[in-house]
A = this chain, B = another copy of it.
Amino acid sequence: MPAPSRLPEHKLTGLTGSLRCCQIFSSLSGEDLQLIASFASPITLAKGDYLFHEGEPSRGFYVVQSGAVNIHRVSAVGKEQVIHVFRTGESFAEGALASSTGYPADARAVEPSTVLLLPKGPVLDLIGRRPDLALRMLASMSAHLRVLVGMLDDLTLKDVETRLLNWLVKHGRAAPGGVIKLPGTKRVLAAELGTSSETLSRTLARLRNEQLILVASKAVTVRNSGLLAARLRKNLGEA
């Protein structure tokens, strides 16, 4: 874990700028942002660096300044279950502020990233004076709860094909020409979908045989997004 560093005075103004972009701080005055910036510790992470591990005592919560941080659990046998990937402007580990138990999961950078550590003590002080900040945090945690509930749905109520279809539809929406670039290796995608690379292979092959998609080495092309969505709806409707 890289050590947090102290900041020269002139960097603080830049910091307040990136704080202002965070949903969670958007209701605060410039003055309060200055205050937060003054005790925020920037942390630089290389790809693969761990920010914290499950069970570590919590030091505060975090805001992603750039890059992406993967929150996941590791089982006794070493299998990883991805919980969520947080990107620029998002905050996580707010629960650390109020409960004295350690972090409930692991956090690792999936690409070179910078995050801000907002230490417990000063933030609690500020909350005392600015209750609307507490509300923002409640809202943020509530959103995290929803994400987890969504994951539960995925894992319990859908089969792999449906999860994959869902993924394709979601990522295909904003893809030029229906070409979806894969973020990493297929094994990684399989993990994100909560399955094995073999099963993912088979499922992709099935959809390919049915002319719904084209599979290249590091990209998937959606041939007919309408049909794909229809197939997804069918799976959700019957199953």
How far does the Cβ of A153 sit from chain B's closest Cβ, in whole Å? 6
Whether A141 sits at the interface, judged by CB under 8 Å, is yes
In the bound complex, CA of A77 to CA of B235 (Å): 10
Q: A134-B131, A142-B141 are in contact. Are A149 and B239 (CB under 8 A)?
A: no
In the bound complex, CA of A21 to CA of B85 (Å): 38
Q: Are B156 and A81 closer than 8 Å at their CB atoms?
A: yes
What is the oligomeric copy number?
2
How far does the Cβ of A195 sit from chain B's closest Cβ, in whole Å? 10
In the bound complex, CA of A124 to CA of B131 (Å): 9
Chain A, residues 111-145, CB within 8 Å of chain B (1/0): the string is 00000000000001001110110111111011111
- How many positions in chain A have a CB within 8 Å of any CB in the partner chain? 47
* Other-chain residue from B131, B144, B236 in contact with A131 (beta carbon distance below 8 A): B131
Whether A104 sits at the interface, judged by CB under 8 Å, is yes
In the bound complex, CA of A143 to CA of B141 (Å): 11
Q: Chain A interface (Cβ within 8 Å of chain B)?
A: 73, 75-77, 79, 81, 83, 94-99, 101, 104-105, 124, 127-129, 131-132, 134-139, 141-146, 148-149, 151-153, 155-157, 194, 236-239
Q: Are A95 and B141 closer than 8 Å at their CB atoms?
A: yes
Beyond the given A98-B136, A99-B139, A99-B143, please list 19 additional residue pairs across the A-B interface where CB-CB is below 8 A: A73-B152, A73-B157, A75-B153, A75-B157, A75-B236, A76-B237, A77-B239, A81-B152, A83-B152, A95-B139, A97-B138, A98-B135, A127-B134, A128-B131, A131-B134, A134-B134, A134-B135, A137-B138, A152-B155
Q: Are A145 and B76 closer than 8 Å at their CB atoms?
A: no
Q: Which B residues are CB-close (under 8 A) to A142? A: 94-96, 98-99, 141
Q: Which B residues are CB-close (under 8 A) to A237? A: 76-77
Chain B residue nearest to A54 (CB atoms) is B149
Q: Which B residues are CB-close (under 8 A) to A104? A: 145-146, 149
How far does the Cβ of A101 sit from chain B's closest Cβ, in whole Å? 8
In the bound complex, CA of A139 to CA of B100 (Å): 9
In the bound complex, CA of A136 to CA of B181 (Å): 41
Q: Which B residues are CB-close (under 8 A) to A77? A: 157, 237-239
